[in-house]
Structures are given as C-alpha cells and as structure tokens.
C-alpha cells in the first residue's frame, strides 16, 4: 500500500506527514525542557547553599553558542539549496552543519572532563576549597580512608566480591588468621551434622578462589552456604512451632479465638484442608530445635595498611592514630588504627561564602564571621602551602578593600550615605584561580586593581577553568586532614543541585545534538537516491530535520545564559 502525503500536502491541513509529526514531537520537547527549566528555578530559589553563579568558564559556552547559531543558518541554507536544486551547495552546507555538531560535542567533552577531574573539599566550618587532587601513586595522594587493620569482619549474608578483592589485595603478603573456630551446620535428611571448617589461629590463604580449600573465598562460600541453610532450618522450626501453639490455643480456648473454625463451619472443604495441613505439621514436630549460627566471619590480620574509597562506606573516626572502624556498604567492618587519610590537593580556589551564609543564618556579627574566617587560615598548619594560602588571603583582603573603594568612587553614596554599590559576597569571600595567579605575580602585595587585572590570565589560558599546567606554582599544595572534612566531591551531580541540573539539561541537550546530527548525516550520505527520485521529497525531509536542529539551537539559547552568565 502506498502511504499518502509523504511529499505532497493534505488538502485540508496543507501539511505533509513528516511536517505534522515533527511539530508534534517538538511540542512534547517544549514541555520536557520547560519542566527541566522549571526544576532549575525551583532548585535555585530553595538552594540552602551559595548558588554557584557565574562560575563556569564563559568562553567554551560562548563558542558553542556561535557554533550552534552558525549551524542553524547553514542547515536552512542546505534546505534552500535543495529548493533551488543545487546538490553541491546542499552537500557543502550540510557537511558544515554536521561538523559544527561535532565541534560542539568535542568542546562539551572538554568542559565535562574539566569538571569531573576538579575536586571540591568542604571543611567542617563550611569553608570550601577547590583544586586538583593528587593521584594515588603520588605520595599519599588520592581520596581514601586509610586504616592499619588488625581485624576484618565479613557479613556472610551480604559480602560483595569486588570489595573482598580490594581488601585482600591491600592486605597483600601480610598474615591473616581466623579469629574464631568456624563450624558448619549441615542438614542431611533433616538431621543436623556439624563439621569443623577452620580453627582459631589457622592461617588463611587470601589468594585462592572459592574452590581452593583453606582460602578465604572458600571459607566464606562454605560458611555462607551453611548460614543460609541454618536460617532456612530455623525458619521452618519457628513456623511449625508457631502453628503448634496456634493449634494449642484452638483446643484450649474452645474455639473462641479460632477464626479458622468459624470459617470452616460453612466450608467443609476448607476445614479438611486445614486439618490435613495440621497433620503434616504434627508429623514434622520432631523436626529439631533452633540451631545457633552466626552471620559473621572474622579474621585477624597483622597491621595491614588498607585503603578504601570513601564511596564504599564510612569511617567512624578518621583522626590519625585513633581506633577506628570502616563500615562498608556490604556490612564488612575493617577494625584498626586510623592512618593518614588526608588528601593532597593543589588549591585553585578558596570560598568562604557557605560559611558566611550559615553564620548569617545564626545572626552572627560581622566581626565574629571575620574571626571565623581568620581562624580557618590560622588552623591550616605550618606547611609551605598553608603559608602561601595565608599570603593569598592577605592579598585578597587588600584587593577587596581597593575594590570597595573603587565602587564607592564610581557609583557614589545614596541619600543615607551608604555606597550605591558594594562588592558582592562572591568578590568578598571567594579567591578565584585567576586572582591566585595575579596575586602570586604581584608577590602577594596588591596596591592597585589595574595591576591585578593585568596579571590575571585571559580567557584562552583558562578555557575550561583553572590551568594547572601553566600556573602550577600559583596554586598552593595543601594536605587536608580527613577529620577536618565535612564533604568532598568532584564537580559531578553529587556535588550539589546546581551541578545536578547543569548535567541533566546540558547532557540531554548534548544527546539531542548527537541525534540531530545523525539524522542530518543520513540525509547527506544517503539522500542522493531520494533526491534523484523526487528532489522535493528530500527537501521536505531536510526541512523537518532542520526544524529539529533549530529547536536544539533554541534550547541552548536559554541554557547558555542561565548556566554560564547568571
């Protein structure tokens, strides 16, 4: 059957199928993105943290805006070329459009990568530092809970193999022994047989798999099987005991509480069924008693240094030298003495705005807030990096007083003798990476705003944010003790709602770019046949693909100012 209105319009609507279909689809897209932008507004209104306004590097977003606008123009040129029957021009414009889509996605990739390798650490006093975390192979870098373990408790019901592999690899050559005797409960023909598996003090092979006798994985697998069987046995014992006691109640109370018998007065068949079931229980009365069992298997290790990713669990007391327990998500508990779980980070921003926000909520005076900030710097320690950060703060205080004076001079005072314009919290309480570079160049002595401006890196040097390659020396190295940390995260959706909605909207938009580019590429590479059959046919298709492409551009026209400029 021939499908009507593929090329030609229906008389009543004046539209062909694909045109009406794409507009229906765009209608649903309008509401989808409308909902997402609505979420953005909600999240921003109710944010209980300083909204990261104007923190994204503008240049990649700006370039991407230009690229999308240019591609919107060329896609409509491609359509016009088909209308004018110029196949060569169509190919040229369409290729450029697809190239634009590719460049857009590459830039997006650079942006995402910069975010996902950029770390933020929040101190217990709500001060935030941002920077690059040193990798694990770099001294005691990386982001780990470190413990000198002497006891590890596995939960037989829930231990997780990847965690187990990591733990045994970290224990390495250190000796591991069983902490207690382990006896397996085996039920053969409903009779309990107990088989010793391992004795306290026996050395455990950490490397063998679950078929190597005497290895940790073998013991855990066997003990888990026994644990499950024992539980099932106990369940059955409890169940039959429960049924028996209910039966006793039934006979002792003369049926007063017996809903079953009341029911069966009217239903002989049901009564028979209940009686039959009761007789089965009676036969199983000698089934056995509840068997003691444990869900845990504990090993002792000799002071093994174990590092665990923080996302795997929580550490009870992270202060170096204190007794601590790391509880993993699979209920494994690693007990020992806390090691140095600090993080080495090249700091490229210091931000006190969250601290200031919390302090203002508590109605603290400005003096007290300033004192709290000074305390943070005083408690950083004696390292070279800490000294550098203190110098940065000194320079920043000089800068912000110069800046406040300039705003006062430029915009004058209002009728109440208050300055019309004052530095924002962003100016006051955040040292940006560009300022860090400039302050270092000026040897931490700021005497004029122009000097700082001149020494700040330009848009190109900071294309996707702090440039650690070029300005490495400007960023102080800090060793952050774990017990000072309230929260740490890379700039991913985990960080806060701003980054969650940022990744949601830009990610969904990026998928639209890829999808649109694929459709347009199909017309470019496989459209020749359609063009030769009926040029108007391909023109209609390209118009429809173009409509989608313009919509993708349209979403970005809003996303760009909202995320990058507001």
Which residues contact another protein by CB under 8 A?
13-15, 19-20, 23-24, 26-28, 30-31, 33-35, 37-38, 41-42, 45-46, 53-54, 58, 62, 65-66, 69-70, 72-73, 76-77, 80, 83-84, 407, 411, 420-424, 426-427, 546-547, 550-551, 553-554, 557-558, 560-562, 565-566
Give min distance, CB of 527 to another protein, in A: 18
Least Cα distance to 134 among 389, 346, 309 occurs for: 346
Compare residues 42 and 257 and give the one whose CB is closer to another protein: 42
Contact (Cβ atoms closer than 8 angstroms) between residue 165 and residue 208? no
Give min distance, CB of 392 to another protein, in A: 22
Give min distance, CB of 81 to another protein, in A: 9
Compare residues 67 and 308 and give the one whose CB is closer to another protein: 67
Give min distance, CB of 472 to another protein, in A: 27
Give min distance, CB of 85 to another protein, in A: 9
Compare residues 143 and 540 and give the one whose CB is closer to another protein: 540
Tokens for 504? 């949601």
CA angle 462/49/360 to nearest 5° reads 115
Cα 362 vs. chain centroid, distance in angstroms? 30
Exposure on the CB side of residue 432, measured as CA atoms within 13 A: 20
Rounded-to-integer distance, Cα 132 and Cα 478, Å: 10
Q: 3-state class of 235 per DSSP?
A: helix
Rounded-to-integer distance, Cα 51 and Cα 61, Å: 19
Burial class (CB in 10 A: 0-12, 13-18, 19+), 92: middle
Give min distance, CB of 242 to another protein, in A: 48
Compare residues 15 and 249 and give the one whose CB is closer to another protein: 15
**481 Cβ contact partners less than 8 Å away, ≥ 6 residues apart:** 319, 320, 342
Give min distance, CB of 46 to another protein, in A: 8
Give min distance, CB of 295 to another protein, in A: 45
Contact (Cβ atoms closer than 8 angstroms) between residue 480 and residue 120? no
Residues in the chain: 566
For residue 200, report the phi and psi dihedrals to the nearest 5 degrees.
-55, 135
Compare residues 218 and 429 and give the one whose CB is closer to another protein: 429
Compare residues 255 and 423 and give the one whose CB is closer to another protein: 423
Give min distance, CB of 13 to another protein, in A: 5
Name the helix (H) or strand (E) containing 123: strand 119-123
Sign of the C-alpha dihedral computed for residues 165, 169, 170 and 174 taken in this order: positive
Compare residues 85 and 472 and give the one whose CB is closer to another protein: 85
Give min distance, CB of 32 to another protein, in A: 9
Contact (Cβ atoms closer than 8 angstroms) between residue 343 and residue 121? yes
Beta strand 128-133 with 119-123 is: antiparallel
Compare residues 4 and 135 and give the one whose CB is closer to another protein: 4
Compare residues 89 and 481 and give the one whose CB is closer to another protein: 89
Least Cα distance to 107 among 560, 562, 566, 561 occurs for: 560
Give min distance, CB of 118 to another protein, in A: 22
Task: Name the residue with tokens 């702090």.
Answer: 466
- Across 49-68, b (16+ Cβ under 10 Å) vs e yields ebebeebbbebbbeebbebb
Compare residues 99 and 426 and give the one whose CB is closer to another protein: 426
Question: Torsion over CA of 387, 393, 396 and 401, rounded to 10 degrees?
Answer: -130
Compare residues 59 and 105 and give the one whose CB is closer to another protein: 59
């Amino acid at each position: 059957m021939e499908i009507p209105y593929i090329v030609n319009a229906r008389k009543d609507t004046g539209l062909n199928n694909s045109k009406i279909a794409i507009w229906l689809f765009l209608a649903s897209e309008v509401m989808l993105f409308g909902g997402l932008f609505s979420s953005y507004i909600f999240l921003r209104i109710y944010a209980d943290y300083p909204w990261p306004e104007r923190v994204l590097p503008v240049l990649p977003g700006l370039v991407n805006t230009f690229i999308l606008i240019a591609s919107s123009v060329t896609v409509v040129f491609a359509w016009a070329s088909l209308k004018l029957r110029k196949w060569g021009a169509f190919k040229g414009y369409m290729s450029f459009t697809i190239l634009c889509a590719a460049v857009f996605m590459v830039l997006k990739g650079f942006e995402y990568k910069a975010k996902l390798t950029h770390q933020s650490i929040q101190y217990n006093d709500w001060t935030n530092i941002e920077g690059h975390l040193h990798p694990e192979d770099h001294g005691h870098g990386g982001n780990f809970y470190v413990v000198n373990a002497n006891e590890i408790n596995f939960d037989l019901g829930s231990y997780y193999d990847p965690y187990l592999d990591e733990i045994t690899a970290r224990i390495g050559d250190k000796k591991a022994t069983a902490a207690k005797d382990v006896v397996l409960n085996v039920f053969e023909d409903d009779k309990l047989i107990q088989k010793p598996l391992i004795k306290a003090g026996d050395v455990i092979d950490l490397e063998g798999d679950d078929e190597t006798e005497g290895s940790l994985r073998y013991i855990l697998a066997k003990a888990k099987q026994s644990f499950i069987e024992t539980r099932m046995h106990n369940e059955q014992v409890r169940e039959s005991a429960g049924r028996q006691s209910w039966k006793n109640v039934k006979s002792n109370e003369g049926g007063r509480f017996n809903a079953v018998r009341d029911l069966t007065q009217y239903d002989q068949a049901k009564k028979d069924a209940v009686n039959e079931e009761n007789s089965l229980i009676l036969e199983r009365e000698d089934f056995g008693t509840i068997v003691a069992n444990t869900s845990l298997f504990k090993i002792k290790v000799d002071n093994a240094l174990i590092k665990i990713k923080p996302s795997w669990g929580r550490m009870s007391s992270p202060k170096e030298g204190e007794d601590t327990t790391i509880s993993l998500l699979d209920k494994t508990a690693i007990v020992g003495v806390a090691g140095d779980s600090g993080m080495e980070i090249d700091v490229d921003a210091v931000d006190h705005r969250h601290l200031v926000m919390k302090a203002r909520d508590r109605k603290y005076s400005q003096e007290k807030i300033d004192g709290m900030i000074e305390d943070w710097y005083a408690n950083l320690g004696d390292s070279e990096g800490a000294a550098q950060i203190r110098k940065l703060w000194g320079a920043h205080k000089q800068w912000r007083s110069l800046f406040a004076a300039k705003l006062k001079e430029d915009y004058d005072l209002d009728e109440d003798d208050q300055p019309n314009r004052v530095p924002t919290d962003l100016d006051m309480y955040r040292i940006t990476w560009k300022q860090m570079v400039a302050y270092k160049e000026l040897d931490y002595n700021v005497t004029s705003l122009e000097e700082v401006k001149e020494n700040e890196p330009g848009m190109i040097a900071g294309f996707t944010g702090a440039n650690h390659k070029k300005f490495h020396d400007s960023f102080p190295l800090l060793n952050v003790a774990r017990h000072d940390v309230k929260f740490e995260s890379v700039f991913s959706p985990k960080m806060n709602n701003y980054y969650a909605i940022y990744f949601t909207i830009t990610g969904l938009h990026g998928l639209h770019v890829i999808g649109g580019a694929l459709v347009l590429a199909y017309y470019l590479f496989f459209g020749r046949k359609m063009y030769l059959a009926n040029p108007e046919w391909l023109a209609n298709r390209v118009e429809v693909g173009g409509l989608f492409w313009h919509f993708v551009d349209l979403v970005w026209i809003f996303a760009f100012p909202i995320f990058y400029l507001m």
